[in-house]
Structure 1
Amino acid sequence: MSNEQLKLRRMILAALFAAITGILAQMTIPLPLVPITGQTLAIGLAATILGARYGTISIMLYLALGAVGVPVFAEMKSGISVLFGPTGGYLVGFIPTAFIIGFYMEKSSFTFKHAMVANTIGMIVTLVIGTAWLKMSAGLPWAGAFKGGFYPFIPVGLIKAALAASIGIGVRKRLVSANLLGTVTPGMKHTI
């Protein structure tokens, strides 16, 4: 397979994960300040399966779709106002989260153990950025921001990290064996 064909396949997969993120975002459990959603599971899956570059591209595409008015954010919301609202930090935090998860995976190995570590780190990155944003935009004290925007998400975040690790590694293996993804050797830079 040529580099151009492989790049096209990875771009298609990135677009597919942007759509999956929009679908999983609609799975919500309402909480007073910030709802629990399936978005973070989708971010972990995208980065675990696609790696740093294409996992991050998928999340940037997802955010761009929501910003221009496609209702892909939680509760079928969209628009720039959502990105700059009190919960916008979680959305913006998905970009470094996807990159960090994918980067960690590429520098270590695509195993459940490493995927669990990467997704746990990613969960913390999202929560820290989102909580800091929530504190500033909603004018909350740090204690209130952590109480409403960080602590409630740790148990479910660990469950989603385990799901993203388990499902992500399984799907990645199948995509690699079907020659739909190509491979990234740990420590090796992308050529595409």
Structure 2
Amino acid sequence: MTDSRSKLQMMIVTALFAAIIGVMAQLTIPLPLVPITGQTLAIGLAATILGSRYGTISVLVYLAMGAVGIPVFSGMSAGLGVVFGPTGGFLVGFIPATFIMGYYMERTSFSFGQAMIANVIGMFITLFFGTVWLKFIAELSWTAAFMAGFVPFLIGGFIKAFLAAWAGILIRGRLMANRLLLA
């Protein structure tokens, strides 16, 4: 495969994942301050399948689309108001979470066990950023921020980490076997 064709394929796959994150964000369970969404599952899939570089680029493209007004955030919302609102810390946390998840797997292996560890790490990074942001933006106490921005997402986070690890490794293997993904 030529180098320019490989780069084009990876750009297309990266853009596809930005769109997948936007679609998965619409799967929501409303909670008072921050809804449970499919975004974190999609972020885990992006990191597990694409790795640190392309996974992070897909998240940056997703966030840029939402920031400029394309309704890709939860509840078909968009704009800088969402990025700087109560859920903004979770959105910003997707960037280091995706990079660290992908980097971890690149340094260990793209196996189910390592993907599970990486996705759990990514979950905690996202929840940390979201909780700290929520504390300051919503002017909550640390306890209230922890109870609103961390605790409600733990069980679902572990389930999504498992699904992202399992499906991500399966899909990555198939894409690699068909030479649709760079190593």
User: Same fold per TM (> 0.5)?
Assistant: yes
Aligned to 2:49: 49
Aligned-partner Cα distance in 2 for 1:94–1:145: 18
Residue 72 in structure 1 maps to residue 78 in structure 2: no
Tell me the CA shift for residue 156 of structure 1: 0.3
1:1-192 matched pairs, under 5 angstroms: 1-183=1-183
Tell me the CA shift for residue 3 of structure 1: 1.9
Tell me the CA shift for residue 11 of structure 1: 1.0
Aligned-partner Cα distance in 1 for 2:49–2:4: 19
Letter matched to residue 94 of structure 1: F
Aligned-partner Cα distance in 2 for 1:15–1:67: 16
Aligned-partner Cα distance in 2 for 1:148–1:17: 28
Alpha-carbon displacement from aligned partner over 1:88-140 (angstroms, at most 9, x marks no partner): 00001100011011000100000000000000000000000000000000000
Tell me the CA shift for residue 79 of structure 1: 0.2
Residue aligned with 1:59, SS: helix
Tell me the CA shift for residue 7 of structure 1: 1.3
Alpha-carbon displacement from aligned partner over 1:9-29 (angstroms, at most 9, x marks no partner): 111111000000000000000
**Number of residue pairs aligned between Structure 1 and Structure 2:** 183
Aligned-partner Cα distance in 2 for 1:175–1:105: 17
Alpha-carbon displacement from aligned partner over 1:126-161 (angstroms, at most 9, x marks no partner): 000000000000000000000010011000000000
TM-score normalised to the size of structure 1?
0.94
Alpha-carbon displacement from aligned partner over 1:35-88 (angstroms, at most 9, x marks no partner): 000000000000100000000000000000000000000000000110001110
Unaligned stretches of 5+ residues in structure 1: 184-192
Unaligned stretches of 5+ residues in structure 2: none
Tell me the CA shift for residue 182 of structure 1: 2.2
Aligned-partner Cα distance in 1 for 2:17–2:119: 16
Which 4+ runs in 1 deviate beyond 2 A? none
Letter matched to residue 83 of structure 1: V
Aligned-partner Cα distance in 1 for 2:99–2:156: 21
Aligned-partner Cα distance in 2 for 1:15–1:22: 11
Tell me the C-alpha RMSD between the 2 structures: 0.5
TM-score normalised to the size of structure 2?
0.99
